[in-house]
Chain A
Amino acid sequence: MRCGTCAFYVHPPRGVCPRCQGERLVPEQVSGRGTVYSYHVMHLPGVPGFTPPYAVAVIELDEQPGLLTVGNVLDCPLEELSIGMPVQVTFEELSEDVTLPQWTRRRE
C-alpha cells in the first residue's frame, strides 16, 4: 500500500501510515523489481503444502529502502540463491481463487 498523504510505501497493509499517521492508505502498483534481502532453506517438515528442503526469500522492493516482502524465487536452485540477487515479480496461479505474487531471477 502507499500513503496518499506522504507517499510512503507500507507492507504488510495497515490502516494508518506509520510515517505521517495519515489515513489515506491505498493499494499502489509497484514495478515488481527488487533484490533478495535475505533467505533461508527450510529443512523441517510441518508446513502444509511444502516438502523440504525449500527456500523462502525476503525481497527488498526497488521502490523504497527497507520495504520488504516475502516469497519464493521459483526458478532458482537452492544453492544459487544469494543476498543481493536481482528478482522480478511473477504471478503463480494456485487455483481459480488464489494467485500469489512470486519471484523469478532478473538478468541485468
Chain B
Amino acid sequence: MSDGVEPYSMRDKSAIVGVGHTGCVKDAGVAPEVMWMRAVREALDDAGLSPRDIDGISTPYTDTWPMGAVPTPFTLTESLGLPGLRWHSGPLGGAYSLGSVASAALAVSTGQCDTALAVHCMVRPKRKGPTAYNYKGAQRASGVYAHLAPYGYSVFVQMMATVARRLLDTNDLAREHLARLVVDQRSNALLNPLAVMKDPLTVEQYLSARWLAEPLGLYDADMPVDAAIAVVITRSDRAEDCRHTPVLVRHVSTFLGPRPDWVFQADYAELFPVELGRDFWRRAGIEPGDLSFAQIQDGFSVYVPMWLEALGIVKRGEAGSFIGDGNLARGGTLPTNTHGGNLSEGRLQGGGAVVETVRQLRGEAGERQVDRPSVGLITVGGSPTVCAALLHV
C-alpha cells in the first residue's frame, strides 16, 4: 500500500463490525421480512450491538410507501422498534447490496450517523415466463425498448449475450475461459454451507449446457434464490469495542456509465467502468498487486473478465487467458468469488460477496479460507451503475 493519503478521503474512518446471511435456498418458506430480520439479528449479534445502537439504515430500495417485499429504511426502523433514524439512504451507484454498504460507510465516515445497518433481500421468482425477473419490456415497449422489442430483444440475458458475442469474437476471450471461471466458482460453493448449489460441475457439463441466449448458456447466469444479508458499519474509533476484528473500509467508489442501456454504447469492450479504474487505486492507496482476493460481480460469467479489465487488474484483452490460467482459483494469484459468487452461492447481487469478504478477512472462512488475507476487493454492478470497494484488516 502506498502512503500518499488524499487530503479529502474516507480512508479507514469506518469499519464493518457485523454480518448476517440467511444462506441461499430456492424456497425459504417464510415471508421475506422474516428472512431479512433473521439476517439483521445475526449481524447485530455478530457485532455485539443492539437495535438501539443503530442510527442509520441504507437499503437498495428506499420507497417510503412499502409496497414490495423488500427491506426499506422505513420498514426496518419499525421492525427494530427504533424511534427514528438520524440518517437513511439508498445504494451508492444503484449497486444493491454493496452500494448500500458503501453509502453507509460514507455516512459514518462523514459524521451523518455513528452506526449504520445495510440490508438486502432477494426473493426467487416462483412463477416462470414473462412475469418473472428481467423480462422488462416483454409486454409493452417504451423508451429504448421500443427500438428492441419489435425485433424480439427484451430479456436482459439477450443484452449480455450480445456483449459476450462481441468479446468472444474480438477480445481474446473464449468459452473455455468462462468454463474455468464457472467451474472454479462451483468448487468454492461446495465448501460454503450458505451456497444453494451443492453438486460439482465439470467443464464438459458447462460447455454442453443448453443455451439461454447463445453464446450464454445455463451456467453463465446467476442462480435465483431466497436469501437476505445484513451488514453493520460503525466508526472505526468505536469498532474495537465490538465482538470481532474490525474490517476497515479503505475506499468505496461509484461510476455512472454514459448510457442507460447495454445496447447502443459505441464500444462493448468498454461497457464496464474503465474510467473508474483509472483512479480507483490511487484514491484508495492500494495497488492491484496488494489484493489478497477479490469478489467480482458475476450476475453473468462474462462480467468477471470485463471487471478485471475495467479496473486495470489485467490489460484489455488479457482477462480471458488470466482466468484460463487459473489465477482466480483457490490457491491462484487472485482467488475470486471464494464463496461461489452469484453464480453458485446464489443471486444476492453482491450481498454474499460482502459477507464473504468480511469472513475471509477475519479468518472465518473455513475450508475455503485464503491464506492470511489482508486486502479484499468487492465489485457490484456492471453498466451503467456500479460500486467498488476495498476492505482490509
Tell me the A residues contacting B by CB distance below 8 Å: 11-12, 37-50, 53-54, 56, 58, 65-72, 82-83, 100
**Is B154 at the interface (CB under 8 A from chain A)?**
yes
User: Once bound together, how far apart are the Cα atoms of A68 and B214, in whole Å?
Assistant: 20
Q: Is A48 in contact with B266, judged by CB distance below 8 angstroms? A: no
Q: Is A70 in contact with B151, judged by CB distance below 8 angstroms? A: yes
Tell me the B residues contacting A by CB distance below 8 Å: 129-130, 135, 138-139, 144, 146-155, 157-158, 161-166, 169-170, 210-216, 263-268
Contact of A39 among B147, B154, B165 (CB under 8 A): B165
User: Once bound together, how far apart are the Cα atoms of A69 and B146, in whole Å?
Assistant: 12
Q: Output the nearest chain A residue to B210 by Cβ-Cβ distance.
A: A43
Contact of A44 among B155, B215, B265 (CB under 8 A): B155
Q: Output the nearest chain A residue to B154 by Cβ-Cβ distance.
A: A47
CB-CB under 8 A for A58 and B152, given A38-B268, A46-B130: no
Q: Is the interface of B mostly helix, strand, loop or mixed?
A: mixed
Q: Is A41 in contact with B214, judged by CB distance below 8 angstroms? A: yes
Across the interface, which residues of A come within 8 angstroms of B165, CB to CB?
38-40, 83
Q: Is A65 in contact with B266, judged by CB distance below 8 angstroms? A: yes
Q: Is A83 in contact with B166, judged by CB distance below 8 angstroms? A: yes
Q: How far is the CB of B212 from chain A (nearest CB, A)?
A: 6
Q: How far is the CB of A42 from chain B (nearest CB, A)?
A: 5
Q: Is B154 in contact with A40, judged by CB distance below 8 angstroms? A: no
Residue of A38, A45, A67, A71 most packed against chain B (CB within 10 A): A38
Contact of B213 among A44, A58, A68, A70 (CB under 8 A): A44
Across the interface, which residues of A come within 8 angstroms of B263, CB to CB?
58, 68, 70
User: Once bound together, how far apart are the Cα atoms of A82 and B165, in whole Å?
Assistant: 10
CB-CB under 8 A for A50 and B268, given A41-B213, A58-B263, A83-B165: no
Q: How far is the CB of B305 from chain A (nearest CB, A)?
A: 16
Across the interface, which residues of B come within 8 angstroms of A37, CB to CB?
166, 268
Across the interface, which residues of B come within 8 angstroms of A40, CB to CB?
158, 161-162, 164-165, 213-216
Q: Is A83 in contact with B169, judged by CB distance below 8 angstroms? A: yes
Across the interface, which residues of B come within 8 angstroms of A68, CB to CB?
263-266
Q: Is A12 in contact with B152, judged by CB distance below 8 angstroms? A: no
User: Once bound together, how far apart are the Cα atoms of A48 and B151, in whole Å?
Assistant: 10
CB-CB under 8 A for A12 and B264, given A50-B152, A70-B147, A70-B151: yes
Q: Output the nearest chain A residue to B145 by Cβ-Cβ distance.
A: A12
Q: How far is the CB of B271 from chain A (nearest CB, A)?
A: 11
Q: Is B151 in contact with A44, judged by CB distance below 8 angstroms? A: no
Q: How far is the CB of B115 from chain A (nearest CB, A)?
A: 43
Contact of B135 among A39, A46, A67, A100 (CB under 8 A): A46
Across the interface, which residues of A come within 8 angstroms of B157, CB to CB?
44
Q: How far is the CB of B291 from chain A (nearest CB, A)?
A: 31
Q: Output the nearest chain B residue to A39 by Cβ-Cβ distance.
A: B165
User: Once bound together, how far apart are the Cα atoms of A53 and B267, in whole Å?
Assistant: 26
Q: Is B144 in contact with A12, judged by CB distance below 8 angstroms? A: yes
User: Once bound together, how far apart are the Cα atoms of A40 and B159, in whole Å?
Assistant: 8
User: Once bound together, how far apart are the Cα atoms of A69 and B161, in whole Å?
Assistant: 16
User: Once bound together, how far apart are the Cα atoms of A88 and B263, in whole Å?
Assistant: 20
Q: Is A66 in contact with B266, judged by CB distance below 8 angstroms? A: yes
Q: A12-B147, A12-B264, A40-B213 are in contact. List 9 more A-B contacts (CB 8 A).
A: A11-B264, A40-B215, A42-B158, A43-B213, A46-B138, A47-B138, A65-B266, A83-B166, A100-B151
